[in-house]
Chains A and B, each alone.
Chain A
Amino acid sequence: MTNYINQGNKDTRSGFGAGLTELGRTNPNVVALCADLIGSLKMQTFIDENPERFFQVGIAEANMMGIAAGLTIGGKIPFTGTFANFSTGRVYDQIRQSIAYSGKNVKICASHAGITLGEDGATHQILEDIGLMKMLPGMTVINPCDYNQTKNATIAIASYYGPVYLRFGRPSVANFTSKSLEFEIGKGIQLQTGKDVTIVATGHLVWEALEAAKDLKSQGIEAEVINIHTIKPLDEEIIIKSVLKTGCLVSAEEHNYLGGMGESIAGLLAKTNPCPMEFVATQDTFGESGTPSELMAKYGLDKDAIIKKVLTVKNRI
């Protein structure tokens, strides 16, 4: 069993900010836009270093998406920054028509995704964004798991042509992936090898899955842990290969089970290799105010929830 070391808690949004800073230094076509959330999105260093390539649009997300689409005409690579809720639901039609249908090279960078932004409550949380974005034809959907992966993903999407939804969060979480690991869009990462159950996790739930795997090991269950950072396109091969060995699967994500990564995996398994599956996800509900850890516990999104679902799915074999 590989031992993953937490290099120190960090927020994934700071990984985005660091990635954007690096892009500012290395790719002159990268431009950034923000709808009055520069501090929250950690964009200040990029702005300080590239004031002519930054556009503050104010509290006007619809306009921001349209401007981003227009900026691509002439070869720019726009990165938009606001909360996940205001990056998706609020501007769905703008993204649909001006970005996705028009095939524009816009990177929609969404912080405060999921429930873990905490105390602001359900108006600012979003548990539907993966579904909204993955349903758009041609949209790539990425949900990195820690600071390093978010930074590397931010850098990687600039080199890929096409619309991307990059989802990250506010809380400080374990930073455990290698900072030198190149981010490959659409390529899952096998973090643990096991024969008894496959745990597929994305975003903040990946560390929880690793912690769960440790506990399960002491109970005599060897869990295979796969990090799916790219929900669309889904790395089907790594998932199928794993369930052929384990015969059951638990998905784990900070999102509604409807429309989430788990739903994509369920569809894949139904078509290729039907097997028992359980979902660690929110159960068609809005969030509420609370601390991130309280919310993760209450909504069944932590290590304990994963362990419980593993035991359930094992019983179904």
Chain B
Amino acid sequence: MSDIKILEQTTIQVRRDILRMVNKVNSGHPGGSLGCAEFFVALYFEQMEVTLPFSMDGKNEDLFFLSNGHISPVFYSVLSRRGFFPVDELNSFRLISSRLQGHPTTHEGLPGVRIASGSLGQGLSVSIGAALAKKINNDQKIIYTLVGDGELQEGQNWEALMFAAAKGVDNIIATVDLNGKQIDGSTNDVLPMGSLKDKFQAFGWEVIELKEGNSIPHILKALQLAKSKLGSGKPVVILMETEMGNGVDFMMHTHAWHGKAPNHEQLENALSQNKETLGDY
């Protein structure tokens, strides 16, 4: 099997994990999780240099921060599949006394998570702080972060964007999940944000557009391109167009599955479209 094929097989298993996790507790956010499954797999299984076992300080390794914490199912699935914690622990998602809280947190000590997120708009600032710490420490590794598109309606992001460009924080690759949807509908209906490309460029960021955000080869190409642009005085953003609910036909092209879990029948249908590859947890 080619490397890409292995990553794609992994993605299918991650989809199954996401669907089964949210179904079990009848809550959680499958739509955005499925839309970013390819990105997470590409990032954690190919792009990032991570060190196990997990250490909070993460010196001399690449770090990732999830700002839109509600897509915790894909984060948890990929962290466990990558070896940060036992895959069986996905069974405890959103259950009482679990390390897998509804939104990611450091509070219960889950390996792989370095900041709590869920209240939106904070991850970019945290990532910039971590990037500055790497610079002070003479650490050449990279900070990655994922931000939702609806999340950019939070003003703190724009404080962070302004700062990162002004201060030449050029060891950070931010990715915006451009799925065009948020809880109340499409971003264009809720609060149109105009051209994000123009906005990021006006704020002094290097912008890479990724139209095929659910294609692993395209994601890897964009990430490599982004990496090649680091160190030149500008922070880099990938505007990644994704399909919410990707991989499950009835969850695509709608915002209905943003924060809704499939029932048993829907789960079976969804799983039949994504046959087990690495083995269910």
Which A residues contact B (CB, under 8 angstroms)?
31, 52-53, 55, 57-58, 60, 62-76, 78, 93-94, 96-98, 101-104
Chain A residue with minimal CB distance to B137?
Answer: A74
Contacting residues of chain B (153-180) with chain A, CB-CB under 8 angstroms: 155-156, 159-160, 162-163, 166-167
A71 engages B105 (CB within 8 Å) = no
Contacting residues of chain B (82-117) with chain A, CB-CB under 8 angstroms: 105-107, 114-117
Report the Cα distance A159→B105, complex, angstroms. Answer: 25
Report the Cα distance A71→B106, complex, angstroms. Answer: 15
Chain A residues with Cβ below 8 Å from B106 are 101-103
Which B residues contact A (CB, under 8 angstroms)?
56-59, 63, 65, 105-107, 114-119, 121-134, 136-137, 139, 155-156, 159-160, 162-163, 166-167
A101 engages B116 (CB within 8 Å) = yes
A73 engages B133 (CB within 8 Å) = yes
B130 engages A74 (CB within 8 Å) = yes
Chain A residue with minimal CB distance to B131?
Answer: A70
Chain A nearest CB from B229 CB (Å) reads 21
Report the Cα distance A71→B114, complex, angstroms. Answer: 12
Report the Cα distance A67→B162, complex, angstroms. Answer: 13
The 9 closest A-B pairs by CB, nearest first: A70-B129, A66-B125, A74-B133, A63-B159, A60-B159, A67-B129, A70-B130, A70-B126, A71-B129
Report the Cα distance A96→B105, complex, angstroms. Answer: 12
A75 engages B137 (CB within 8 Å) = yes
Chain B residues with Cβ below 8 Å from A58 are 159, 162-163, 166
Chain B nearest CB from A316 CB (Å) reads 43
B116 engages A67 (CB within 8 Å) = no
A62, A73, A104: the one contacting B159 at CB < 8 Å is A62
Chain B residues with Cβ below 8 Å from A76 are 133, 136
B105, B132, B166, B167: the one contacting A70 at CB < 8 Å is B132
A67 engages B118 (CB within 8 Å) = no
B129, B134, B136, B162: the one contacting A69 at CB < 8 Å is B129
Known: A74-B57, A98-B116. 12 other contacts (CB 8 A): A31-B136, A53-B136, A60-B159, A66-B124, A66-B129, A68-B129, A69-B126, A71-B133, A75-B137, A94-B156, A98-B125, A101-B106
Chain B residue with minimal CB distance to A53?
Answer: B136
Among B58, B119, B125, B134, find the residue whose CB has the most chain A CB atoms closer than 10 A: B125
B156 engages A73 (CB within 8 Å) = no
Given contacts A94-B122, A97-B117, A102-B107, whether A70 and B136 have CB atoms under 8 Å apart is no
Report the Cα distance A65→B124, complex, angstroms. Answer: 11
B136 engages A97 (CB within 8 Å) = no
A57 engages B136 (CB within 8 Å) = no
Chain A nearest CB from B68 CB (Å) reads 13
A73 engages B129 (CB within 8 Å) = yes
B58, B63, B115, B137: the one contacting A98 at CB < 8 Å is B115
B134 engages A97 (CB within 8 Å) = no
Report the Cα distance A73→B127, complex, angstroms. Answer: 10
Chain A nearest CB from B84 CB (Å) reads 16
Chain B nearest CB from A306 CB (Å) reads 41
A63 engages B125 (CB within 8 Å) = yes
Given contacts A69-B126, A97-B119, A98-B126, whether A103 and B107 have CB atoms under 8 Å apart is yes
